Amino acid sequence: MPPRSKKTPIKRIFQPLPQNTFWIDSDAYDRRAYGQLRSDSPSLQMLEEQGSTLLPHFGSLLQDIFSLLFKANIIYHKEAEVLPSALLNERLLKAIGQGSQYDFLREQTLLNEARAGLSTLLLGERLLAQVREEKFLNRRDLRDLWDIRKQEEILNQKRDEYENADTIPEENLSQDGKKALDKAKERMGGEVQGAEASLRHKTAQLKEDLKQIDAQATNRMQAEAIKVAQQLEDATEEAETWGTTLGTGQKSPPGQKLELGRRLAGNAKLKKLARLVGRMKFHAMALRTKAFERSNEEVLEVERGDSIHRLLPHEMLTLHHPALRKDFLRRYLDQELIQYSLRGVEEKGKGPMIVCLDGSSSMAGDKEIWSKAVTLTLLEIARRQRRLFRSICFSSEETPLQILDMNSRDRYEIETKTVMDLAEYFPGGGTDFQRPLDAALECLKHARFKKGDVVFITDGECQVASEWAEQFRKEKERLGFSLFSILIDVGSASLGTLTEFSDRITTIKQLTGDETKDIFVKF
């Protein structure tokens, strides 16, 4: 009688889950561009962190939004190539990409890393606000998304266990051990099938739920896209104004432009301040040119820019070539032409500037704008003259001083982030003159600020102790510095206290040539 053949367990083959969480196909250049933006933008990193606590794959959604706005050719992955827990991302992306508002927004962001990144940040913030307020997703929908994400993890774990069981060598096992192993494989195979069935069921239910919110999500996201397009246009214009106002001759990386645009978007105070600084800087620079005879400038180095009169000869040759002419115009608009950098008399070193800026409640409104416009104009003068510049913003005795070194680098470059910190900060509260001036004295005692001068900007509404004023005058004489006070008399103001410790006082009533000369020619 022939021996009975053994029943060999059937090897089950399970289709692995896709590992992709992105819906839009991107190449290495796109991923590198977004990765650099994210690396340089704390705001983008914070948004991703906050969003990831509410929605699975929120970071992937942000990168997809960037690709949707930045790439010239948009190609979506097939549904089978993306994890089911990322289904919501597809709905949101297609909601953004429909309608004329997308075309209008895309005109501003196409192949522009900074603008596409800023739009991604603004859209992501608005989307996150909609989710928090449960505008088109309720808590049950969010729970279902996380349930699917958890089910995907369980399925992957079960498949790994099943695959690992096949790696156990059977030749060293007894018959009983082989039977036990076969039963374990059979059980694990059943668990994998059960996990797959559960995931399919949850995914099918999620698709039905998402169909119910498609129209609402589309309307809401299109409305948000319109607002972002408007914000982007305003922020881009203001960023260019700030770049001109505090230009250093160097091109900022896209991540810095993104951060600047984020802080300028919808900020009426900064918009007003930028325009006032631009006007004030124009007058100040014009007066300084007249007040001092400029020495001959010399070539310092080669840089990028758009100054036609300083271009290298080979750049001018491209204007006569039909194909290269267009590239010349593009690089001219992007300030990327190769030009000479000149150095003249204004780059010779002078003493540092220490500016004490009043941030008390009495300075709110127009006074704040005027005082910060004067401060930033002085900062631009310090940059041109290669002078260190420290800002000390003060209010009440209990409020900590905001002390900022505005151009601490070796080449006296202005850091945009620090400028924005100064422009946006306003502590309010009472007024104390003694603490900031004591801090200025301590600063002047350090070697790097030796032979510096102090500028004190306030509306003058404060009192100081007579003993302190006497001691301050002695220290001022000992250290050999001057204190120049600028009274912001837009509204109520008082000269009385400033006369006790100032070498010179000037006021601002309106921007005229004579007043600008009084303020800026001294420096």
pLDDT digits (tens, 9 = 90+) for 154-165: 888 877 777 776
Range of the domain at 455: 353-520
Q: Tell me the pLDDT band of 1, cut-offs 50, 70 and 90.
A: very low
Residues 414 and 468 in one domain: yes
Q: Is residue 400 part of a domain?
A: yes
- What's the pLDDT score for residue 298? 57
**163 inside domain:** no
pLDDT exceeds cutoff 90 at 111: no
Residue 202 within any structural domain of the chain = no
Q: In the predicted model, is pLDDT for residue 207 greater than 80?
A: yes
Say if residue 338 is in the same domain as residue 357.
Answer: no
Q: Which amino acid would we find at residue 378?
A: L
Q: Is 258 or 55 the better-scoring residue by pLDDT?
A: 55
Q: What is the mean pLDDT of residues 510-523?
A: 53
Q: Please check whether residue 431 lies inside any domain of the structure.
A: yes
CA distance linking residue 515 with residue 494, whole number of Å: 18
Higher-pLDDT residue of 56, 188: 56
Contact in structure between 251 and 335 (CB atoms under 8 Å):
yes
Same domain, 387 and 501: yes
Residue 23 binned pLDDT confidence (cut-offs 50, 70, 90): very high
Do 378 and 447 have their domain in common? yes
The residue among 319 and 514 whose pLDDT is bigger is 319
The answer to whether residues 358 and 493 belong to one domain is: yes
User: Do residues 319 and 370 share a domain?
Assistant: no
Q: Torsion angle, CA of 463/467/470/476, rounded to 10 degrees?
A: -80
Contact (CB, 8 A) for 389 and 405 = yes
- Lowest mean per-residue pLDDT among 182-186, 433-437, 500-504: 182-186
Q: How many residues does the chain have?
A: 523
Residue 310 lies in a domain: yes
- Describe the crossing of helices 268-291 and 366-384 by its angle, rounded to 10 degrees: 40
Domain boundary among 320, 343, 366: 343
Same domain as 439, residue 309: no
pLDDT of residue 100: 81
Who contacts 308 (Cβ-Cβ below 8 Å, separation ≥6)?
Answer: none
Q: How many angstroms separate the CA atoms of 108 and 284, rounded?
A: 34
Dmax over Cα atoms in the chain, in whole Å?
Answer: 123
Mean pLDDT of 390-398: 91
Q: Do residue 396 and residue 486 come from a single domain? A: yes
* Higher pLDDT among residues 276 and 313, named by residue: 313
pLDDT band at residue 135 using 50, 70 and 90 as cut-offs: confident
User: How do 402-405 and 389-394 pair as beta strands?
Assistant: antiparallel
Main-chain dihedrals φ then ψ at residue 351, nearest 5 degrees: -70, 155
Q: Which of the residue ranges 69-78, 277-286, 291-300, 480-489 has the most confident prediction, judged by mean pLDDT?
A: 69-78
**Is 368 in the same domain as 494?**
yes
Residues 336 and 455 reside in one and the same domain: no
The predicted structure's pLDDT at residue 225: 82
pLDDT bracket for residue 66 (50, 70, 90): very high
Give every CB contact of residue 312 below 8 A, 6+ residues apart in sequence: 302, 338, 339, 340
Tell me, yes or no, whether 479 lies in a domain: yes
pLDDT score at 499: 84
pLDDT for res 510: 44
Report the percent of the chain where pLDDT is more than 70: 79
pLDDT of residue 281: 64
Indicate whether 455 belongs to any domain.
yes
User: How many structural domains comprise the chain?
Assistant: 2
pLDDT given for residue 176 in this prediction: 64
| pLDDT tens track for 91-105 | 888 888 887 888 888
Across 42-56, 64-78, 329-343, 465-479, least confident range: 329-343
> Is residue 428 located within the same domain as residue 515?
yes
With a cut of 80, say whether residue 58 has pLDDT above it: yes
Interacting residues of 504 by C-beta distance below 8 A, sequence separation 6+? 482, 483, 484, 485, 522
Q: Which residues contact 520 (CB under 8 A, 6 or more apart)?
A: 283, 284, 287, 288, 377, 378, 381
CATH of residue 379's domain is 3.40.50.410
pLDDT for the residue 504: 85
Nearest to 510 by CA among 370, 338, 394: 370
Per the listing, tokens 């991107």 go with 26
Last residue of a domain, one of 285, 319, 343: 343
Overall average pLDDT of the 281-295 stretch? 52
3 state SS of 336: coil
Give the confidence band of 167 by pLDDT, cuts at 50, 70, 90: low
Mean pLDDT, to the nearest integer, of 404-418? 74
Q: Is this model's pTM higher than 0.75 or not?
A: no
Residue 459 lies in a domain: yes
Both 330 and 392 in one domain: the answer is no
Q: Check residue 511 and give its pLDDT.
A: 44
Average pLDDT score over the chain:
78
